[in-house]
């Protein structure tokens, strides 16, 4: 018997339901039951039970069976004449005052294959039972009879369509939390919600939404009335346990249902992460209700038709949110003030202990840019402060151009001179502070590199020492030449500050590929540097150049103890030097350098002083340093200075050379 005079199939097809919101289908059925109980003379005795229907599996009793449907029962007024006629009429106005659009039953048809309703309701001092099936075909198998049974309505929604089978959670706990989130406004309202229980018979478990609400809601404010353009909104601030909600949100409601959540992240200064409430971690949910929202919710009840910005005379979402945030600032005043202060302390501690290059920035940083999450990582904070420093640097450049563009040649007045002086003083002060910041950044970088070197020298989780390539890349990236790597990237200062001055630098590249030497040798020095005395930084364009120096660095794995005559790193580097001297030495542009065969050599061996390496040092007639952390010597016939540096000496020596700078900036020097 089809009592619905409409193209129901087309209506269902045009009804929108995102897969992420299929819980709304069950939630709408629950809301219908709550409203049915609200119509009772004694609603305080109302009770709703949601029974989970799972697939049958005769093979394995312990198998995790999928949910196929739900049975919702309540002791509300039931499908009496008024409610049944409303059910038969699409877009009925019967519950318009409750914000109902009559979409719930259409969503049932969109998701479930089998829908059955059995309802006992009071009629003329008797109890009438009305039952029927509901499908795309409309209402079928309608039956009515007088019964001697209690008033009760059971709605069965079974056989979830394949498209939606994976969109419902398969465990009772997750299902309960989602239902509570969607219908939480009924629990917050005056009088609360009826008793609602979810039962999973096959899993042998049940959950009371009322108990869950009491456990998860830590506290709430009294309802607050605000007006935006003469439109009234009711605000209730609720602190909910982090087990059910892990974000701070503004929750826009319509007809006592949650419609839209607006995350508060970045909108309320000082509101970060969870809030501690009586030992529990909670998140703020600010619930907003209004007749205006009821009137502007879409039929599917998943969003509002509100203007984002104030384009017309109507209230925009932006205006509503701004007014709500003002109430949040008042409600969480103490929490926000504490977090803001902690954020400033976090910045000061970071700058003072780890990033002194930003000290000059702190005096110029606007107050709003000092409001940061106290738990922000060093990386995120560094990026934040760097962006702010870049803004100031941009302003300094702009001020510099203004100074250059200032014309003092005409109409020179005292006022104009004073304005120029003021602009000049501002520029010089800012420029000076930035230079100090650059120097601080340079020194801080050295502290970080020393920390990385210290870690690279330690035994790793596998009980082994790191490969020499780790340390090699730290000092100078491998497979690179000087013009491929910025000066700030190589850290040759760890070995000797003088190595920063070079015309050509090569790292782990074959001799035959180096443009400054003529050689067919395939061997690869770890690090090789050419320095010409009169042009230490840039390659000269003179036709011939005076004599320079060649520096070779050889690195060995920490604690390597297999140095033999054949594997002697000292002999190895001397052979490199001889090969270079045999060939023609030239600039990168191909111009010859005089006296190639007599180029002075500097050799640095960086390795732990294991017994085998000490033996090679003695055989090469090198002298042990006073601190017993290295060896040195001069090969007169080869015009070569040799220094064997232990890793401990490398670290300690670099630390001592920079100690004064670290002390000046308040950086650790251990």
Tell me if 458 is assigned to some domain.
no
Q: Is the pLDDT of residue 541 over 50?
A: no
Residues 614 and 486 grouped into a single domain: yes
pLDDT-derived band at 429, boundaries 50, 70, 90:
low
Residues 211 and 242 grouped into a single domain: no
Q: Is the pLDDT of residue 4 over 50?
A: no
Buried b (16+ CB within 10 A) or exposed e, 352-391: eebbbbbbbbeeebeeeebbbbbebeeeebbebbeebbee
Q: Which segments within 264-392 are labelled E, that is strand? A: 275-277, 280-289
- Of the chain, the percentage scoring pLDDT greater than 90 comes to 26
The per-residue pLDDT for 537 is 37
Residues 87 and 120 grouped into a single domain: yes
pLDDT-derived band at 331, boundaries 50, 70, 90:
very high
* Backbone phi and psi for residue 361, each to the nearest 5 degrees, phi listed first: -70, -35
In the chain, the number of structural domains is 4
Tell me if 461 is assigned to some domain.
no
The per-residue pLDDT for 93 is 57
Give dist(CA 216, CA 214) in Å, integer.
6
The per-residue pLDDT for 156 is 96
Residues 513 and 620 grouped into a single domain: yes
Measuring CA to CA, which residue among 251, 242, 248, 245 is closest to residue 276? 242
Average pLDDT over residues 121-136: 91
Residue span of the structural domain in which 420 resides: 338-448
Give dist(CA 149, CA 127) in Å, integer.
7
Q: Is the pLDDT of residue 428 over 80?
A: no
Average pLDDT over residues 442-462: 75
- Of the chain, the percentage scoring pLDDT greater than 70 comes to 81
Residues 80 and 204 grouped into a single domain: yes
Task: Kindly state the tokens that stand for 212.
Answer: 């869950």
Tell me if 127 is assigned to some domain.
yes
Residues 166 and 307 grouped into a single domain: no
Q: Is the pLDDT of residue 330 over 90?
A: yes
The per-residue pLDDT for 78 is 93
Question: Which of 13-22, 47-56, 225-234, 329-338 has the weakest average pLDDT?
Answer: 13-22
Helix or strand (DSSP H, E) at 257 = strand 257-263
Contact 646, 624 (CB under 8 A): no
Give dist(CA 525, CA 555) in Å, integer.
9
Per 3-state DSSP, the chain is made up of helix, strand and coil in percentages (nearest 5) of: 40, 25, 35
Residues 318 and 275 grouped into a single domain: yes
Residues 237 and 205 grouped into a single domain: no
Question: Which of 276-285, 410-419, 503-512 has the weakest average pLDDT?
Answer: 410-419
What single-letter DSSP state applies at residue 148?
S
Residues 489 and 556 grouped into a single domain: yes
């Amino acid at each position: 018997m089809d009592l619905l005079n409409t193209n129901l199939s087309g209506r269902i097809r045009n009804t929108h339901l995102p897969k992420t919101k299929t819980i709304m289908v069950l939630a709408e059925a629950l809301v219908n039951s709550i409203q049915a109980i609200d119509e009772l003379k004694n609603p305080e005795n109302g009770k709703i039970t949601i029974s989970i229907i799972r697939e049958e599996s005769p093979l394995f009793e312990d198998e995790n069976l999928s949910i196929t449907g739900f049975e919702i029962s309540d002791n509300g007024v039931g499908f009496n004449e008024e409610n049944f006629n409303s059910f038969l009429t699409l877009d009925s106005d019967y519950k318009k005052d409750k914000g109902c659009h009559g979409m719930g039953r259409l969503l049932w048809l969109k998701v479930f294959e089998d829908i059955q309703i059995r309802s006992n309701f009071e009629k003329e001092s008797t109890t009438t039972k009305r039952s029927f099936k509901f499908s795309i075909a409309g209402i079928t198998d309608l039956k009515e009879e007088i019964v001697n049974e209690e008033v009760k309505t059971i709605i069965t929604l079974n056989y979830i369509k394949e498209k939606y089978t994976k969109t419902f959670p398969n465990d009772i706990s997750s299902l309960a939390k989602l239902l509570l989130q969607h219908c939480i406004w009924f629990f917050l309202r005056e009088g609360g919600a009826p008793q609602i229980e979810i039962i999973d018979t096959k899993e042998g478990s049940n959950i009371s939404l009322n108990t869950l609400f009491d456990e998860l809601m830590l506290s709430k404010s009294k309802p607050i009335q605000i007006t935006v353009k003469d439109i009234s909104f009711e605000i209730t601030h609720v602190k909910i346990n982090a087990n059910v909600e892990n974000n701070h949100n503004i929750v826009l409601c319509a007809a006592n249902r949650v419609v839209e959540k607006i995350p508060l992240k970045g909108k309320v200064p000082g509101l970060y992460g969870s809030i501690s409430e009586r030992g529990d971690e909670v998140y703020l949910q600010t619930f907003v209700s209004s007749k205006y929202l009821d009137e502007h919710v879409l039929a599917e009840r998943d969003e509002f038709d509100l203007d984002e910005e104030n384009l017309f005379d109507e209230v925009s979402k932006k205006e509503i949110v701004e007014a709500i945030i003002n109430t949040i600032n008042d409600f969480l005043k103490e929490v926000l003030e504490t977090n803001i202060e902690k954020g400033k302390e976090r910045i000061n501690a970071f700058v003072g202990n780890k990033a002194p290059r930003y000290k000059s920035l702190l005096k110029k940083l606007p107050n709003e840019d000092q409001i940061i999450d106290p738990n922000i990582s060093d990386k995120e904070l560094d990026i934040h402060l760097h962006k702010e420093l870049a803004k100031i640097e941009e302003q300094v450049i702009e001020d510099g151009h203004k100074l250059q563009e200032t014309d003092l040649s005409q109409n020179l007045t005292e006022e104009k001179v004073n304005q120029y002086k003021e602009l000049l003083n501002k520029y010089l002060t800012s420029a000076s502070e930035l230079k100090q910041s650059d120097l601080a950044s340079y020194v801080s970088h050295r502290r970080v590199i020393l920390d990385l070197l210290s870690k690279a020298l330690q035994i790793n989780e596998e009980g082994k020492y790191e490969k020499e390539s780790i340390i090699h890349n730290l000092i100078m990236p491998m497979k690179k030449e000087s013009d491929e790597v910025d000066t700030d990237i190589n850290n040759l200062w760890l070995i000797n500050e003088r190595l920063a001055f070079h015309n050509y630098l090569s790292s782990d590249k074959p001799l035959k590929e180096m443009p400054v030497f003529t050689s067919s040798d395939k061997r690869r020095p770890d690090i090789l540097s050419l320095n010409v005395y009169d042009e230490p930084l840039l390659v000269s364009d003179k036709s011939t150049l005076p004599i320079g120096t060649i520096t070779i660095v050889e690195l060995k794995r920490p604690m390597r103890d297999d140095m033999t005559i054949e594997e002697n790193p000292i002999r190895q580097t001397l052979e490199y030097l001889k090969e270079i001297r045999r060939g023609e030495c030239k600039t990168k542009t191909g111009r010859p350098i005089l006296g190639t065969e007599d180029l002075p050599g500097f050799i640095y061996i960086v390795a732990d002083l294991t017994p085998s390496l000490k033996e090679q040092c003695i055989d090469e007639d090198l002298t042990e340093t006073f601190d017993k952390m290295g060896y040195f010597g001069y090969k007169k016939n080869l015009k070569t200075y040799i220094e064997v540096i232990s890793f401990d000496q490398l670290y300690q020596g670099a630390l001592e050379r920079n100690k004064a700078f670290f002390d000046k900036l308040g950086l650790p020097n251990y």
